[in-house]
A and B are shown apart, each in its own frame.
Chain A
Amino acid sequence: MTVLNFQPGFRVPANRSAFQPVPDVKRVQNTYRPPVNVLNDEEAYTIQLAVPGYDRDAIQIEVDNGTLSVKGADRKATGNYTRKEFKTGAFERRFQIPDDADSGLIEAKQENGVLTILLPKVEAAKPRSIQVA
């Protein structure tokens, strides 16, 4: 059974470390963390970030020392807001890249407000069938 993990920023056991958020020690002030879905299948890990309203140019993806970070610039949405439930400011979210993902082959695309980042798995980690001789 999975270890319950509901304390944000808490260091997690190794078996759940893939894509757990990295503790936000270095996180820039005044940023928020957009919600994220992570899928894991045989070929790749897929990260989906909900970033509605952000232009492609406003988003920056970096890989540094096993950490993937996604940053977005402030949308500068101004106006006479009478109700504000979602944020339009700068955001940042970091992920630990699992060992079986190939950080050299990361691809990203943005569609309908969802940023999809694809991390293919290294060949050795993919399932293969072995022929009986």
Chain B
Amino acid sequence: MKNLKYGPFEVGPAIDGFFNNFMDRNLSDLVSAFRFSEPAMNMLEEADEFRIELAAPGLDKSDFEMKVDAGTLTVKVEKEFKDEKTTGKFKRREFNFSRFSRSFQLPETVNPEAIEARYENGVLVVHLPKKEVAKAQPVKSIEIK
């Protein structure tokens, strides 16, 4: 029972697991399974770049798949549950980032060729450098003749 879609939520393994042990769970597990299966994102704008920070702890850099297509940046993770031993041993489950996809519309001012990303300490940091023309130009004083 995979890839079921209910409204805006993509239902991943967190929900599969949920139904398996329905009676052992409490209501907060259901709420949190929805709430925490998509990673939160912080966005910054600097003079020469935009920066996206995606909080997705517990993954490996190789789990991420990133692509830019027609001005849209997509970050996708589809991690298989290898460790069957742990399944069903959860007493409480409030986060799980093993399966998600998040897309961003890139601003026109971003140079898609120069995008770089790094996964460090559970945060995926995506650097989106601005195009030269879009960078803040230094104030120029004009001489009056």
Residues of A within 8 A of B (CB): 1-6, 18-19, 35-41, 45, 48, 50-55, 77, 79-86, 88, 112-114
In this complex, the interface size class of chain B, counting residues with CB under 8 Å from chain A, is 35 or more
A52 surroundings in chain B (CB, below 8 A): 55-57, 121-123
* The one of A2, A35, A51, A77 that contacts B26, using a Cβ cutoff of 8 Å: A2
10 additional contacts, CB 8 Å, given A6-B27, A112-B57, A113-B123? Answer: A6-B26, A19-B92, A48-B58, A50-B94, A52-B121, A53-B122, A79-B44, A83-B41, A85-B42, A112-B122
Out of B23, B45, B89, name the residue touching A80 (CB < 8 Å).
B45
Within 8 A of A (CB), among B104-145: 119, 121-123
B70 CB–A CB distance under 8 Å: no
Q: Given A52-B55, A79-B46, is A86 in contact with B41 using a C-beta cutoff of 8 Å?
A: yes
A35 touches B32 (CB 8 A): yes
The reply to whether B42 and A114 form a contact with Cβ atoms under 8 Å apart is no
A residues less than 8 Å from B56 (CB atoms) = 52, 113
Nearest Cβ distance between residue A83 and chain B, in whole angstroms?
4
Q: How far is the CA of A55 from the CA of B122 in the complex (A)?
A: 10
Instruction: Report yes or no: A40 in contact with B58, Cβ–Cβ below 8 A.
Output: no
Question: Would A113 and B58 count as touching, CB distance under 8 A?
Answer: yes
Q: Is the interface of B mostly helix, strand, loop or mixed?
A: mixed
Closest A-chain residue to B25, C-beta based? A2
User: B111: shortest Cβ distance to chain A, in Å?
Assistant: 19
Find chain A residues with CB under 8 A from B58 CB. 48, 50, 112-114
Chain B residue with minimal CB distance to A37? B93
Q: How would you classify the secondary structure of chain A's contact residues: helix, strand, loop or mixed?
A: loop
Set of chain B residues within 8 Å of A36, measured between Cβ atoms: 92, 94-95
User: A4 touching B94 by the CB < 8 A rule?
Assistant: no
B3 within 8 A of A: no
Q: How far is the CB of B134 from chain A (nearest CB, A)?
A: 15
Q: Do B94 and A35 touch across chains, with their CB atoms under 8 A apart? A: yes
The contact sample of 16 A-B pairs, CB cut-off 8 A, is: A6-B27, A6-B28, A36-B92, A39-B90, A41-B85, A41-B86, A50-B58, A53-B123, A79-B51, A81-B42, A81-B43, A81-B44, A83-B43, A86-B41, A112-B119, A112-B121
Note all chain B residues with C-beta closer than 8 A to A82. Answer: 43-45
Q: Which 4 A-B pairs have the closest CB atoms?
A: A113-B122, A113-B57, A52-B122, A86-B40
A50 touching B57 in the complex, CB below 8 Å, given contacts A81-B43, A113-B122: yes
Chain A contacts for B78, CB-based, 8 A: none
Kindly report which residue of chain B lies nearest to residue A85, judged by CB atoms: B40
